[in-house]
Amino acid sequence: MGLQQEIERRRTFGIISHPDAGKTTLTEKLLLFGGAIQKAGAVKSSKIKDHARSDWMEIEKQRGISVATSVMGFNYKDVKINLLDTPGHQDFAEDTYRTLTAVDSVIMVIDCVKGVEIQTEKLMEVCRMRNTPVICFINKLDREGRDPFELLDEVEEKLSIKVRPLSWPINMGKNFKGVYSLYEKSLHLFTASKQTVEEGIEIKDINDQELERLVGENNAKQLRADIELIEGVYPDFDVNEYLEGKVAPVFFGSAVNNFGVKELLDSFIRLAPPPKPRETTVRVVKPDEQKFTGFIFKIHANMDPKHRNRIAFLRVCSGKFERATNYTHVRQEKSIRFSNATAFMAQDRETIEEAFPGDIVGLFDTGNLKIGDTLTDGEKLMYTGIPSFSPEIFKEVINLDAMKTKQLEKGLQQLMEEGVAQLFTYEIGKRKAIGTVGALQFEVIQFRLKNEYGATVQFQPQNIYKACWISSKDPKKLNEFVDSKQRHIARDKDGKLVFMAESRAWLQMVQDNFPEIEFHFTSEF
């Protein structure tokens, strides 16, 4: 099979949601359809622990939540699907944000009882930064949820995206009868707890009397009224608008009952884009170019604490990746070779010889690679669009053992490169502050510094509202600003200048007083 055919048959997507919306359950059912797992529960019981045995994964066991992204590949109807299951817990959102840079589209899971929640809104903002195509799956229809039209209005309002239902529920909760596919003009009847999936009954004409026999007179009448309203209110579904990230097709179902999942998957492989061209610092790279390029979007450090090994996750963007081949590490300007390259098939890891655009490859790394690094066949270009977001919680690092200062420095450097959190070093006094998006990250960092590097620390809360990266077209004005606000100036791990604002009102005042200074809420500007 040629490069073009390999690209056309690949779909790389992320599943995102608020915690408890049913994301892991949906992931599991998709893997069952792909034959990647044989029984329900395999995802939850194995999760990442089987291929990432880092000590701190104890936190996953103790808390019963995902703290890192899982990567899974499987085949379905001759389509190679690369699925990235992200942490739903907001304390690990930074990992999810970066994972979204490696996918071509997204399935967003929404709980029909709770509707759109805060975390879903934040994730949607990240999708919008890249115009990522989004499919919406409204889950848990077997429960008494909110009115479907009300849910659609909320999605449009809170997520600022147009929606178009491609399936529609017939009742919900105890009276849930099934779903009518507007896309395929077929009816799918619901049977509680039934794990086998039956083919839909084709009903091309919604006025067919067969509908009354299958779902009852009242339900048939309601469904016809709903569909008439949908056709009147929502414009016809336009695939191109979906691909441009302007409209989100909506499907309904119950992942725990395996209902609506097959319709979602069948529609997904037809609608979702194959690997797309990507921006670099030099030019746009197309996936069908012969020369290999790819970027690192995630790193798992110290999987085996005895050997300090780590895996870097590479997204292939163009050409063909081949194991044991020399590639250019653009940032370090040196040649690098990977004799160990792995692909992930559900919870198993297998060595691979080659990979194509859209594929995710695990590379064993001794510390050369950082998040955002680009590997190429020789061309000097860097992929863009892998930003750090301004954290929400800031704490100063207090070293409790002066004899272990070197170990602490090394530990902080390596953990920050992995993207666990962000490190800011103040210009005055060289005090170090760590910024995260959630409090749980501090537990993870403290635990790992002690167990992996022998460094003992405490964290002192800091009264910081936002870390803003700063720049100016006028270097003189920038220097003047830095001099006047020296006590509040720090540098991130890459040496970029950061203004540590103590409150929203104060930040606004400083912005008004220094119009020549630009304040950025992500590190990429």
- H or E stretch covering 426: strand 422-426
| Two structure tokens written together for 293 | 């390029």
- H or E stretch covering 219: helix 217-233
Quickly state the pLDDT bin for 90 (edges 50, 70, 90).
low
Buried b (16+ CB within 10 A) or exposed e, 43-81: beeebbeebbebebbebbeeeebbbbbbbbbbebeebbb
Question: Quick one: pLDDT at residue 349?
Answer: 66
Question: Quick one: pLDDT at residue 184?
Answer: 78
Question: Quick one: pLDDT at residue 43?
Answer: 46
Cβ pair 12, 82 in contact under 8 A: yes
- CA–CA distance, 460 with 434 (Å, rounded to integer): 10
More confident residue, 148 or 59: 148
More confident residue, 197 or 517: 517
Q: What is the mean pLDDT of residues 74-78?
A: 87
- CA–CA distance, 83 with 31 (Å, rounded to integer): 9
Nearest in space to 17 (alpha carbons), one of 149, 115, 153: 115
Buried b (16+ CB within 10 A) or exposed e, 321-341: bebeeebbbbeeeeeeebeeb
Cβ pair 252, 148 in contact under 8 A: yes
Tally DSSP H helices, then E strands, for the chain.
Answer: 15, 31
User: Mind giving me the DSSP string for 42-95?
Assistant: HHHHHTTTTT---GGGHHHHHHTS--S-EEEEEEETTEEEEEEEPP-SGGGHHH
Distance between alpha carbon 388 and the CA centroid of its chain, in Å?
14
Residue 447: burial class (beta carbons within 10 Å; 0-12, 13-18, 19+): middle
Buried b (16+ CB within 10 A) or exposed e, 366-399: eeebbbbbbbbbebebbbbebbbbbbbbbbbbeb
- CA–CA distance, 298 with 284 (Å, rounded to integer): 22
- CA–CA distance, 472 with 478 (Å, rounded to integer): 6
Question: Domain boundaries in the chain?
Answer: 3-271, 281-376, 393-520
CATH level 3 topology of 3-271: Rossmann fold (3.40.50)
Cβ pair 73, 83 in contact under 8 A: yes
- CA–CA distance, 281 with 275 (Å, rounded to integer): 19
- CA–CA distance, 176 with 246 (Å, rounded to integer): 31
Question: Quick one: pLDDT at residue 67?
Answer: 41
Cβ pair 311, 364 in contact under 8 A: yes
- 515: helix, strand or coil: coil
pLDDT tens-digit map of 267-295: 999 999 999 999 999 999 999 999 999 99
Residue 254 DSSP one-character state: B
Q: Mean pLDDT for the chain?
A: 83
Per the DSSP assignment, residues forming a β-bridge with 489 are 499
- Among the listed ranges 97-101, 146-150, 204-208, 239-243, which one has the minimum average pLDDT value? 204-208
- CA–CA distance, 247 with 266 (Å, rounded to integer): 19
Determine phi and psi for 339, rounding to 5 degrees: -85, -20
pLDDT tens-digit map of 157-204: 999 899 999 999 988 888 888 888 888 787 878 776 555 555 667 766
128 contacts: CB under 8 Å, gap ≥ 6: 160, 161, 245
pTM value is 0.79
Q: What is the mean pLDDT of residues 7-26?
A: 85
Question: Quick one: pLDDT at residue 38?
Answer: 53
- 396: helix, strand or coil: strand
Q: What is the mean pLDDT of residues 136-145?
A: 90
Quickly state the pLDDT bin for 385 (edges 50, 70, 90).
confident
Determine phi and psi for 285, rounding to 5 degrees: -100, 130
The strand pair at 10-17 and 79-85 is best described as: parallel
- Among the listed ranges 23-32, 315-324, 452-461, which one has the minimum average pLDDT value? 23-32
Question: Quick one: pLDDT at residue 53?
Answer: 30
pLDDT tens-digit map of 299-357: 876 555 555 567 888 999 999 999 889 999 999 899 999 888 888 664 456 788 899 99
What are the contacts of 333-339 at 24+ separation with CB within 8 A? Answer: 333/380, 336/368, 336/375, 338/363, 338/364
pLDDT at 52 over 50: no
- Among the listed ranges 34-43, 83-92, 313-322, which one has the minimum average pLDDT value? 34-43
- 174: helix, strand or coil: helix
Quickly state the pLDDT bin for 433 (edges 50, 70, 90).
very high
Could you say which architecture CATH assigns to the domain 281-376?
3-Layer(aba) Sandwich (3.40)
Q: What is the mean pLDDT of residues 152-157?
A: 93
Q: State what percent of residues in the chain have pLDDT above 90.
A: 43
Question: Quick one: pLDDT at residue 305?
Answer: 53
Q: What is the mean pLDDT of residues 57-74?
A: 55
Question: Quick one: pLDDT at residue 268?
Answer: 92
- CA–CA distance, 81 with 132 (Å, rounded to integer): 17
Fold matches, 281-376 and 393-520: no
Question: Quick one: pLDDT at residue 277?
Answer: 93
- Residue 303 Rama label (left phi>0; alpha psi -120 to 50; beta): alpha
Q: State what percent of residues in the chain have pLDDT above 70.
A: 86
CATH of 393-520, one of 3.30.70.3280, 3.20.20.70, 3.90.1150.10, 3.20.20.80: 3.30.70.3280
Question: Quick one: pLDDT at residue 462?
Answer: 92
- CA–CA distance, 256 with 261 (Å, rounded to integer): 10
Question: Quick one: pLDDT at residue 436?
Answer: 87
pLDDT at 95 over 90: no
